[in-house]
Structure 1
Amino acid sequence: MQHPTNTTPNQPPPLGRRERNKLKVKERLYDAAITLFAEHGYDETSIDEIAERADVARGTFFNYFQRKEDLLTAWGEQRRHTLLTTLTNNNIHTGTNTSTSTGTGTGTGTGNADSNGSGSSGGNSTDGNSGRGAESRNGNGNGNGNGNGTDGSPGSHTHGSSDNSTTNPDTAVNQLRHCMTALGQINETHQQETNSLLMAWVRAGRPLLEDPYLAELFAHIAHHGITHHEFKPHFTPHQIGNALRDLYLGSLYRWCGQPHTTPGQLTTELHTTLNLILEGILTTQHTDQ
């Protein structure tokens, strides 16, 4: 007689013992690699050292990763999963299914209540259950672009507009601010890791080869803003999404290149670049030539 299982039609069946053991080994290898990269640098860390730290044979490494560069892909996927989980838990419309896990996370990072982008679970977590959340709510927003907003981000004021974008969490503006807060905290919570891996990620061509999920995420929010008349329809959602992604990566590269940083510096810079897009640099008196 067959006994019914507890799984639902939308749930995958539970992993067997062999699959669970394989997943644990892969997680050990990933965790060992990320720790060594943060301690010594990506280029300075060998596969032998990763296997030794994970307490497995060198050949076992190649059962899970064909080459060391594959760890960069896993790192990027974990950051993506952490960000999307954080945003989803903060009711941000990502337009993306976050139910799948890459199975390489360590379970450490920035949590969802406050969110690293990842409260996501700081960049390396698959479940987003630990760390700091995306929302600090300790601001005193004064509406002049210099204070802290209701979500702990730098306040903004768009030429005296009277819209409710600063009070309604469902607006596209506030969704973008949550994104920038989460991205800033993901990187700042794991600064040494980010510094060690970002340049290796760039040299491996990952910004060109990987799916530009950030641009798509920003475009999804921009579409919401355009259809709800928050944003001018002069530009397409994809143009806005690509511009925001480019500004994010530029801010991240500059931050990683600085020998000394202060807490919250990257997050503040990201909100400044966001305000640059939202407010523009033209005076209200400007007319097209």
Structure 2
Amino acid sequence: MYDAACELFLESDFVSTSVDEIAERADVARKTAYNHFPRKRDLISEWGRRRRLFVQGELSEEVVATHSFEDVLRHYFRALVKINQVQRPLTIRMLMGWRESGGPFDVDPHLLVEVFRDITARAVDRGELRASTDPARVATILYSCYFGILYEWVAGSDQEAPFDLAQAYTQLLDLTFEGLLKRPA
């Protein structure tokens, strides 16, 4: 069903695609569609879940445990850039659908803020960041900036982005590290 929904979103968009159309494309009954995805926006949650699994696959627990805060975040953002670039048309449809469905201030589709909080908390525990650093606040900043930049990036066409996403996130991380990392005096 998810794949059928994504095909339809790519042919049209999230908002104008009906659950009936999704059920028909997936060759399932309407009731079955609602059993799997009680709300159409739950398809966006599934999209977010699959993206998180992809990025987690790109970032092993060993990397998180043994590399610096800066290296882990840069690696994580490279994986995010990769999935967004590979799935640009679908990313556009899903983000616009998420916006129309009540996001982006609803954390349902993305638990990314928790990922950022955990990465930051580990860095504080290892002494890479000042002890006074609030991992939840850093996570909120990274999460907000990630989506703010991503929403600007999806403003282009399916084939052509308005700017280089990797470069934009590199600038974000450069600013973040300059403000957070303990540097020798």
What band does the TM-score fall into relative to the shorter chain?
0.7 to 0.9
- What CA RMSD, in Å, does the superposition of the two structures yield over aligned residues? 2.4
Q: Unpaired runs of 5+ in structure 2?
A: 180-185
Tell me how far apart the structure 2 counterparts of residues 271 and 49 of structure 1 sit (CA, whole Å).
40
Tell me how far apart the structure 1 counterparts of residues 32 and 80 of structure 2 sit (CA, whole Å).
33
Q: Unpaired runs of 5+ in structure 1?
A: 1-28, 95-168, 281-289
Shift of 1:34: 0.9
Give the corresponding residue for 1:217. 115
Give the corresponding residue for 2:154. 256
Shift of 1:206: 4.0
Give the corresponding residue for 1:35. 7
| Structure 1 segments of 4+ aligned residues over 6 angstroms from their partners | none
Corresponding residue to 1:266 among 162, 165, 170: 165
Aligned 8 A contact 1:219 1:238 in 2: yes
Deviations 1:4-44, CA, capped at 9 Å, x for gaps: xxxxxxxxxxxxxxxxxxxxxxxxx1100011112211112
Give the corresponding residue for 1:278. 177
Give the corresponding residue for 2:183. none
Deviations 1:141-194, CA, capped at 9 Å, x for gaps: xxxxxxxxxxxxxxxxxxxxxxxxxxxx61111000011101111111100000
Tell me how far apart the structure 2 counterparts of residues 173 and 39 of structure 1 sit (CA, whole Å).
39
- Count of residues in correspondence between the two structures: 177
TM-score norm. by structure 2 comes to: 0.83
Give the corresponding residue for 2:84. 187
Return the letter of the residue paired with 1:93: V
Aligned 8 A contact 1:183 1:267 in 2: no
Deviations 1:208-243, CA, capped at 9 Å, x for gaps: 333562222112222222233322334211111111
Query: Structure 1 66/228 Cα, relative in aligned 2: closer, same or farther at 3 Å?
Result: closer
Tell me how far apart the structure 2 counterparts of residues 207 and 75 of structure 1 sit (CA, whole Å).
14
Tell me how far apart the structure 2 counterparts of residues 67 and 233 of structure 1 sit (CA, whole Å).
42
Corresponding residue to 2:105 among 180, 187, 208: 208
